[in-house]
Structure 1
Amino acid sequence: MRGFWKRRGVRIALGVVLVLVLWPLVRTQLLRTKPARPDDATFAQAQRVRILRDTFGVPHVFGQTDPDAAFGAAYANAEDDFETVQDVFAASRGKLGLLKLSKLALANDYYVQLVRIEDQLAAGYESLPEDVRAMLDGYARGLNLYAFLHPAEADGRLFPITGRDIAGGFLHKLPLMLGFPQTLLDLDGETPRHVGQKVAARAPQGEEGFLGSNAHALLGTRTSDGVTRLNVNSHQPWEGPVAWYEMQIHSDTGWNMTGGTFPGAPLILHGHNDVLGWAHTVNHPDLIDVFELERVGEHGYRYDGQVEQLEVRSAAIPIDIGFFTLTVHKDTLWSKHGPVFETKHGTYAIRYAGLDRGLFAIEEWYRMNRARSLDEFKAAMALGGIPMFNTVYADRSHVYYVYNALMGKRPEGFDYHLVLPGNRSDLVFQEYLPFADLPQVENPGSGFVHSCNGSPFNAAGRAGNAVDRYSPTFGIEHTDWNRDLRTLALLDTQEKITPEAFDRMKFDRAYDRRSTMFTHVIDPLLASFVPNGPDETRALELLRGWDGVCDPGSTAASLAVLTYKSADPEMRGEGDPTMPDAAAGLRDSIRWLKEG
């Protein structure tokens, strides 16, 4: 009898373990109910779409109308990477925790409610032009049809998706591009940030975070064959929600764009149509202001001599933990400045560029897609929804550069990279510098414009640059990176540029003699480094004879780059050693190369 109960107990225990192991899997399948069947209009729209693929697998989408073409763009993107597309819309709706059990998902879903994406949609979505909303609706219908036809891939809790949800994706991503998450992380770090102290608003420019996009436009008057050329060379991650997805979107009503977009975006973000093209690169104006609030009581704060009350909401964040869905509640706060973030060090209000204009970015990119001339392109950009990005443009007769940014008009006398006092309304920007007043260059005498993330005041080389007449409160950068210097060395000449030379420029591997590689590392080492032993003597001779070109087989290049990365904080990546100077960096690089 005792053995019977023992065996029965073992069976019960095994059964419990089996249930515990299998229940999350069974529950997931139960929750992933088949998305609802789309309406008949969706199936009719699908008949007006063709998706063709070239030998690289790149989709070329053809639709009768723009909404039809957007429908096909959504379906093609879903065919290639539905998981990422679904994640994008879960994230923008604050429901990423239903798909992923992680701190990142929890932080994302809180962020969605912190910046009030739903409020922005409620206030502005219906004000978007009808053709823009129709395009967004077409894209949503394409995703809904794919989800219905592939239920094993789709989570029924997230469907159907609407055009409003597509618009929410822009409101979700744009603050991320400005550096909003890095600002929050810095404020929540171990080091207190108080009025007058610097806040890190962007990711560090290390091996993983370095922003290295390039764009070049060359007029036909500067080319050997008379052809205007555009180089679109943005650097993004290889995969994920901001990895480039290449496609062509074509409608019978005049939309015909080829280029790169992000998963879940219904249009091309940069590329070309049949008459013009453009490229974006990241720029770095000061687009985020942080204010330290002086708290009064539980929810009060001082503002212009008065005590104002924070708006308090409880954010309900659903998290699927496998066995059941748990809803976590956390307060979100809002002040007259914008979203408010509480840390152990203090309470901070954040105002970021485009806080009230994110929806305009959708129309702006859409009008840029459909532009047929430089004037139409400029009119599109003047809508002022895209909060940042250098933009380099070319058509058959024009090249154009603009340092695009929503730069708030601020009082002089403050460094807006620092934490600001939150008790003064005059420090809270309400207006932006008009588009026409931004740094820009059209058809300069040099015959080219470029952007390699550097200063906008050297975009055209020696002839026709924008005049640096801008307030330091805008935080416009003045650095010329090596890629800028190499561009100027190769293009800012009197020579006609051949197609082959233009291609070589794109793949150029050289360091300019004016770059920090030479001014901070090579030149100081050659001037003052005293070698200790044959290895250091050999290393110094290698650097002395190096031509600055980073060919894969170059020992000197390997030595120089390793030394540069360890000795220069701006080049240092995660895991790289921190050395006090170039000499220490060189010695450590020699050691590492010999051990490797």
Structure 2
Amino acid sequence: MATVFRWLLRIVSGMILLSVLGVIGVYYLASRSLLDYDAAHTVQGIDGEVEIVRDTHSVPHVFGQSDADVFFGLGFAHAQDRLWQMTMLRRTAQGRLSELFGSRTLKIDEMMRRLDLYPLAVQSVAAQDARTLAALEAYSAGVNAWLETVNTEALGRGAPELFLFSNEIAPWQPADSIALVKLMALQLSGQLESEVLRARISLVLPPERVRDILPDVPGEGIASLPEYAALFPTAPRFAASTMDYSPLNPVQPRGFAGASNAWAAAPSRSASGGALLANDPHLGFSAPSIWYLARMELSTGGVIGGTIPGIPVILSGRSAALGWGITTAYVDDQDIFIERLNPENPGEYETPTGFKPFRTRSSIIQIKDAAPKTIALRWTENGPVLTGEHFNLATVTPPGHVAALSWTALSPRDTSIGAALDLMRAQSIEAAIEAGERHIAPAQNLTLVEPGRIAMKTIGAVPRRDVRHQSQGRFPSPGWIATNRWQGRMPYASNPEFLDPEGGILGNTNNKTVNRPFPDHISFTWGDTQRIYRWQRLMQNREVHTRESFIEAQLDTVSFTARALLPLVAKDLWFTGEAAPEGTVEQRRKQALDLLAEWNGEMNEHLPEPLIYAAWMRALQNRLIRDELGPLAAEFRHIDPVFIERVFRDTDGASAWCNVVQSTRVESCTDIARMALDDALIWTQETYGPAIGSLRWGDAHEATHDHQVLGTVPVLSAFVNIRQSTSGGDNTLQRGLTKGSGPDPFLNVHGAGYRGVYDFADPDSSVFIISTGQSGHPLSRHYDDLGELWRRGEYIPMSLDPALARAAAEGVTVLRPAE
């Protein structure tokens, strides 16, 4: 027995020792790629010495003797901190994820190959002017110099993830940066999904009910449209969703296609006497953040702000002369065309002048641990042909037809990156607007400030449509009818533009910006109908604004939506509850209503009311639409306040949604509101406990900065994911868009990964922040150091003074040219 015990002790001790050695080994290998910020490197590709001065928060300030050397330095810094992220973005754009992840990413790769983004980026290199091409080549050389440094100095493959996925890294090319801009356009363009959903809804509901569930943004209406079933009588009626929205998929559900805030005040509305600008672009959260802070000292002056690794551009930021911010413009720049196949030859499709052959080529997808797959890519005159499993197109494509996509980003002469580079060098609003003419996609509202002026301009190509277009681009249309096809682009001068407004305030929350009839309408679908009202109130409550009041607006968590909907939905429920025993449904309902009656709509993480309200409205919309839409109800992940308001105001008979069509009883809207509240209270009790007063919005509304690949791996996820209790919600200015599905529907998954506020009376008092940290290395203290500041609504200084950067430097990386 003693012998057995001794052997067991030896085995257990050995296993513990091996585990400890394994942990030490993993730490050693991973730590090899931790940066030494005070290193010096001799590199090929620069003409003079380059300095990368990293301040206290690891923000690189890049100095060089020429613009090319500065772009080289930015590429070097991006690769140092975010190499894994850059390679993943490039693989996504190329449709090469399956080389790392096997068959689970095959559908994503197929979709990206069919969209053809990377080959179009390669073609677009030839369309760049000499200065843009020089910047792209210098940036690429900087990235590749770091790859060479990693290899020669044995720096742990450059990122710990690359020990797990050890495929070779190809040198960076100018086309890679252009492809990432196109990938960004895909992430920020949601018109395609809206078209498909409207078509699916049109197949099961009468037109008046479609107007309820997919309401137009309040404003001037449009002429009536044909029903989708009339255009395509053989299209499927009910079909399950075919989309897999995995973390690696750049396409996310409807409602996640991008949002942002930007506002500006002219000197007449600024307490400091200089123009003010605030900007917070919204994208999906990740660890590390998609955003990376940087400063470049160009020949035209310093520029500082938010970049995306892989793209050598300050996308939102300022120079000494100009500040700029971006918001998604929601331009209707995508159309789906249903192409009719030739019954005699499926290799041809119908055009206005007869049948023509598809333009085709083959593409081979390499798959880890599986045989390669060859797919046939097809193009029509309208664009690439997509299969039915992408974007749920199978649900709206009749037999004997295929779906093709027209999209402005599918340009082989895309000069968007050149426009962004010119914007960084612009010294005036007029020069910035002129630079925007070269921008193709994604369409953005560009908010601009000089020290004494403000402006806003929509940049991006806007399709020209025929006034006789059958669907006006609102849902898929027959591709063989000439009047449905695009007629080129609208002139840039017709894009919305606002210069020096009389009131001295400009802003955008993805709201409707212009009220034009089709085809000059810009869009029928906008990203916000609610936040804009809260913004208007905050702006008009003050005669003059300060940097602090702009920060206060960025961090505002009061929901106009809650304030507007609760009195409407609960008008027959307030204070009507009778006495009931503790623990009963009636008692919990009374407690909830009493709390909501005293609530001001603030979506504060420490309060119970936001969780009760959010759960109630979610349950309410589900009860309203589930019986009419069946499986299609799952496509509505977030409440639509305009829809709920239409129902409870009985606009155009919309209260019909309150009646459950499968029951013999006729339910009223008050009945449904009461039942939905009970649903919500049961859910909160089962999920968070029975004490209503102890509920906490932040427990449900955690920001999920998850590692895109390792975030679901047991044990590792605890080291690479960043979770934070947060305030805000779907419709607050401090927007924290909820997941909308699954067991944790209120997780905060999409919001302001970057915030900047610039005061041109005192530019060095400008501030900024990102949602995680500068480094993509989980062992670095800069992996999450900015995240806690971001959660608390704090910022870090933003100075273009080289002396300040050097005074607070954590380290200086010196790049010397090789002889």
| Alpha-carbon offset, residue 112 of structure 1 | 4.2
- AA paired with 1:401? M
Equivalent residue, structure 2, for 1:370: 425
Check the 8 A contact 2:76/2:142 in 1, yes or no: yes
Equivalent residue, structure 1, for 2:479: 422
Cα distance, 1:351–1:255 mapped onto 2, change above 3 Å: farther
Matching residue within 332, 337, 354 for 1:291: 337
| Unmatched segments (≥5 aa) in structure 2 | 1-40, 152-156, 204-227, 244-250, 389-393, 579-585, 623-634, 645-656, 659-671, 689-819
Equivalent residue, structure 2, for 1:351: 406
Cα distance, 1:435–1:493 mapped onto 2, change above 3 Å: farther
3-state secondary structure, aligned to 1:319: coil
Deviation string, structure 1 residues 217-241 (Cα, Å, up to 9, x no partner)? 1112112221311111112233269
Check the 8 A contact 1:255/1:369 in 2, yes or no: no
Check the 8 A contact 1:87/1:99 in 2, yes or no: no
Check the 8 A contact 2:96/2:366 in 1, yes or no: yes
CA distance in 2, matches of 1:166, 1:381: 18
3-state secondary structure, aligned to 2:386: strand
Deviation string, structure 1 residues 370-424 (Cα, Å, up to 9, x no partner)? 1110011010001232341222111211111223342211112432121100112
Deviation string, structure 1 residues 474-513 (Cα, Å, up to 9, x no partner)? 424467533211110011356222443222222111123x
CA distance in 2, matches of 1:188, 1:439: 28
CA distance in 1, matches of 2:179, 2:253: 28
Equivalent residue, structure 2, for 1:218: 265
Equivalent residue, structure 2, for 1:388: 443
Matching residue within 501, 504, 512 for 1:447: 504
Check the 8 A contact 1:293/1:349 in 2, yes or no: yes
How many matched pairs? 536
Deviation string, structure 1 residues 541-571 (Cα, Å, up to 9, x no partner)? 2222222222333333332233234334798
Cα distance, 1:447–1:571 mapped onto 2, change above 3 Å: farther
Cα distance, 1:483–1:387 mapped onto 2, change above 3 Å: same
More deviation in 374-383 or 237-246? Answer: 237-246
- AA paired with 1:88? L
Check the 8 A contact 1:357/1:385 in 2, yes or no: no
Deviation string, structure 1 residues 65-117 (Cα, Å, up to 9, x no partner)? 2221111111111111211112222333343333332433x334334432334
Cα distance, 1:93–1:79 mapped onto 2, change above 3 Å: same
Check the 8 A contact 2:436/2:460 in 1, yes or no: no
Deviation string, structure 1 residues 310-337 (Cα, Å, up to 9, x no partner)? 112111112232xxx7421011101111
Equivalent residue, structure 1, for 2:601: 548
- AA paired with 1:217? A
CA distance in 2, matches of 1:44, 1:557: 55
| Alpha-carbon offset, residue 165 of structure 1 | 3.1
3-state secondary structure, aligned to 1:320: coil
Equivalent residue, structure 2, for 1:28: none
Deviation string, structure 1 residues 412-450 (Cα, Å, up to 9, x no partner)? 243212110011233221322222211221111111111
| Unmatched segments (≥5 aa) in structure 1 | 1-39, 458-466
Check the 8 A contact 2:339/2:350 in 1, yes or no: yes
| Alpha-carbon offset, residue 539 of structure 1 | 1.9
Check the 8 A contact 2:327/2:508 in 1, yes or no: yes
CA distance in 2, matches of 1:327, 1:181: 30
- AA paired with 1:332? L
CA distance in 1, matches of 2:64, 2:610: 50
CA distance in 1, matches of 2:42, 2:441: 33
CA distance in 2, matches of 1:572, 1:118: 31
Asked if 1:566 is matched to 2:566, the reply is: no
CA distance in 2, matches of 1:180, 1:266: 28
Asked if 1:59 is matched to 2:116, the reply is: no
Check the 8 A contact 1:216/1:451 in 2, yes or no: yes
- AA paired with 2:674? A
CA distance in 1, matches of 2:110, 2:415: 24
Cα distance, 1:287–1:376 mapped onto 2, change above 3 Å: same
Cα distance, 1:102–1:571 mapped onto 2, change above 3 Å: same
Question: In the TM superposition, what are the counterparts of 1:4-403 in structure 2 within 5 Å?
Answer: 43=44, 45=46, 48-104=49-105, 106-117=106-117, 119-121=119-121, 123-151=123-151, 152-153=157-158, 157-179=168-190, 195=231, 203-204=252-253, 209=256, 211-239=258-286, 243-251=290-298, 253-254=299-300, 256-296=302-342, 297-321=345-369, 326-343=371-388, 345=397, 346-356=401-411, 359-403=414-458
- TM-score, normalization by structure 2: 0.60
- AA paired with 2:260? S
Check the 8 A contact 2:122/2:175 in 1, yes or no: no
Check the 8 A contact 2:558/2:603 in 1, yes or no: yes
Equivalent residue, structure 2, for 1:523: 568
- AA paired with 2:93? S
Asked if 1:587 is matched to 2:678, the reply is: yes
- AA paired with 1:410? R
CA distance in 1, matches of 2:587, 2:112: 59
3-state secondary structure, aligned to 1:299: strand
More deviation in 540-549 or 305-314? Answer: 540-549
CA distance in 1, matches of 2:127, 2:70: 23
Cα distance, 1:396–1:98 mapped onto 2, change above 3 Å: same
- TM-score, normalization by structure 1: 0.80
Equivalent residue, structure 2, for 1:483: 531
3-state secondary structure, aligned to 2:406: strand
More deviation in 471-480 or 258-267? Answer: 471-480
- AA paired with 2:680? S
3-state secondary structure, aligned to 1:340: strand
Equivalent residue, structure 2, for 1:33: none
- AA paired with 1:317? I
Cα distance, 1:584–1:58 mapped onto 2, change above 3 Å: farther
Cα distance, 1:535–1:184 mapped onto 2, change above 3 Å: closer
3-state secondary structure, aligned to 1:91: helix
- AA paired with 1:537? K
Deviation string, structure 1 residues 445-467 (Cα, Å, up to 9, x no partner)? 1111111111114xxxxxxxxx6
CA distance in 1, matches of 2:358, 2:330: 31
Equivalent residue, structure 2, for 1:435: 492
Check the 8 A contact 1:526/1:540 in 2, yes or no: no
CA distance in 1, matches of 2:571, 2:70: 60
CA distance in 2, matches of 1:431, 1:290: 16
3-state secondary structure, aligned to 2:464: coil
Cα distance, 1:41–1:263 mapped onto 2, change above 3 Å: same
3-state secondary structure, aligned to 2:311: coil
3-state secondary structure, aligned to 2:44: helix
Asked if 1:496 is matched to 2:544, the reply is: yes
Cα distance, 1:48–1:89 mapped onto 2, change above 3 Å: farther
Check the 8 A contact 2:440/2:460 in 1, yes or no: no
With CA pairs under 8 Å and 6+ residues apart, which has the higher RCO, 1 or 2?
2
Cα distance, 1:187–1:96 mapped onto 2, change above 3 Å: farther
Deviation string, structure 1 residues 511-546 (Cα, Å, up to 9, x no partner)? 23xx3x343344220345654633222222222222
